[in-house]
Amino acid sequence: MDGLNAGYGLLVRWSLDGTGQETAAQLRQHVVGTSMARFMFQDGLAFKVWRMSEGAWFEGTYVFATEAARDDFRERYAAQGDDCGDVTAIIGSPPQVVEAYEVVAIAEGPEGFRCGPGPITA
């Protein structure tokens, strides 16, 4: 990262409108069981965060070390069209938002970054 910019972000967000707890559970399983391992070795990727507001939206937030790495990933992603992989298959519709952005800064708190699944839900 170049000191003027902490990274190059990409947001990919799907709507979960009309989906239920089963879809949320499938997304959690997919992320922990498949997707995390896939992205741990993604060239140019600094980190990825999967976020969800159950019943509202699910998203992948990516931060890349270089603009070229982000743009290359975005181009390969866009080339898939409406078939944007496993998440689209689980949800049943393509993402509503695919947006590049600037990461101005990243502050790591005293707890540090942890890799792994989030809270366990019943």
**Phi-psi map region of 22: left, alpha, beta (phi>0 left; psi -120 to 50 alpha):** alpha
Block residue for tokens 């931060």: 63
Domain tally for the chain? 1
| Helix/strand/coil for 15 | strand
Domain that holds residue 26: 7-103
pTM for the model: 0.86
CATH number of 59's domain: 3.30.70.100
Is residue 110 a part of any domain in this protein? no
CB-count burial class (<10 Å; 0-12, 13-18, 19+) for 26? middle
Is residue 17 a part of any domain in this protein? yes
Q: Which has the closest alpha carbon to 60: 21, 18, 30?
A: 30
| Helix/strand/coil for 104 | coil
Is residue 115 a part of any domain in this protein? no
Is residue 114 a part of any domain in this protein? no
Question: pLDDT (tens digit, 9 = 90+) per residue, 1-47?
Answer: 445 678 999 999 999 999 989 999 999 999 999 999 989 999 999 99
Is residue 122 a part of any domain in this protein? no
Is residue 71 a part of any domain in this protein? yes
Is residue 108 a part of any domain in this protein? no
Alpha-helical runs (H) found in the chain? 21-30, 36-39, 67-78, 85-91
Question: pLDDT (tens digit, 9 = 90+) per residue, 39-70?
Answer: 999 999 999 999 999 999 999 999 999 999 99
Q: Please check whether residue 103 is in contact with residue 8, taking contact to mean a CB–CB distance below 8 angstroms.
A: yes
Between CA 35 and CA 48 the distance in angstroms is 10
Is residue 14 a part of any domain in this protein? yes
